[in-house]
Structure 1
């Protein structure tokens, strides 16, 4: 990379990551800062480190593959695990370099959707439910993915709605994301 390309990559206002088979091959400084990691130590690491459980990492694997196989850009909102252990809500976008095997080479961007706010710390279960809601899943779909009862998911969802004084899932996600500017 020439100096300008390297500067643009490292200082882009988005976290940028390239993976091969879900292993980080390259990432920019912004991604490292966003996730609380030294970016020089991330290449060679599995993306599993950004999920609170092996199950969450497995469950998110196939989401959006049909879009990537078509050559389009996939986008959603999801939770990543910060180095401190807190949840980080991000806008995620991905483009594959190999539509026949989308996860073999993937370029991803991440934009943080909220500042770290101590009163907004979520439990691992709450993070998983919020991530499902951010993907547009119903409580029943989230429950099926996690191997839990829909009632359990409804209970978690109801507690979150009360805690954040939200009337519905969309309002909850907006409150968790915080102000855009």
Structure 2
């Protein structure tokens, strides 16, 4: 890349990373800053570093693989972990360079949705349920994925609504995505 291309890449308004088998091979300055690291600290590291738990890292692995196998981009919203342990909500997009083996080489982008970190602190279970709710899953579907009872998921949903002082999941998700309500 020439100097202008490098400048554009590093200063893009969203975090961009190239991964190979979930290992960070390249990233821009915005990506490193978003997660609280210097670029050299991220290169060669597993993406596990950016998730709250091993379980979360492993569960998210296969989400979106089908569109990637068809050479289509994949997009969702998710909660990620900053180096200092704080959480942030972002829009995630992925495009594979290797459709036959989607995770072999993939370009990812992360755009902040909610930059207000003064919101409630979430437990790992709440983060997990919120991730699935943001993908449109019902309590029964989430319970099946997480091998929990639907009642447990309903309890977590109720706790999320109380923490964020909202009346329903639609308002919760719109608040987290920065949509006026």
1:136 — aligned with what?
Answer: 136
Note if 1:166 corresponds to 2:166: yes
Quote how far apart the aligned CAs of 1:145 are: 2.2
Note if 1:65 corresponds to 2:65: yes
Q: Tell me the alpha carbon deviations over residues 125-152 of structure 1, each in whole angstroms, 9 at most, x when there is no partner.
A: 1111111111111222222222222211
TM-score (norm. length: structure 1): 0.93
Q: Are the counterparts in 2 of residues 86 and 122 from structure 1 also a CA contact under 8 Å?
A: no
SS of equivalent residue, structure 1 residue 75 = strand
Q: Tell me the alpha carbon deviations over residues 95-119 of structure 1, each in whole angstroms, 9 at most, x when there is no partner.
A: 0001110000000100010113223
SS of equivalent residue, structure 1 residue 118 = coil
Quote how far apart the aligned CAs of 1:6 are: 0.4
CA distance in 2: counterparts of 1:69 and 1:167, whole angstroms: 38
CA distance in 1: counterparts of 2:136 and 2:71, whole angstroms: 22
Q: Tell me the alpha carbon deviations over residues 124-180 of structure 1, each in whole angstroms, 9 at most, x when there is no partner.
A: 211111111111112222222222222111101111112323232221012223368
CA distance in 2: counterparts of 1:35 and 1:170, whole angstroms: 27
Q: Are the counterparts in 2 of residues 59 and 145 from structure 1 also a CA contact under 8 Å?
A: no
1:98 — aligned with what?
Answer: 98
CA distance in 2: counterparts of 1:2 and 1:120, whole angstroms: 44
1:20 — aligned with what?
Answer: 20
1:75 — aligned with what?
Answer: 75
Structure 1: gaps spanning 5 or more residues: none
Q: Are the counterparts in 2 of residues 24 and 42 from structure 1 also a CA contact under 8 Å?
A: yes
1:32 — aligned with what?
Answer: 32
CA distance in 2: counterparts of 1:153 and 1:51, whole angstroms: 21
Q: Tell me the alpha carbon deviations over residues 42-86 of structure 1, each in whole angstroms, 9 at most, x when there is no partner.
A: 011000111111111111111110010111110000111111112
SS of equivalent residue, structure 1 residue 130 = helix
CA distance in 2: counterparts of 1:19 and 1:160, whole angstroms: 33
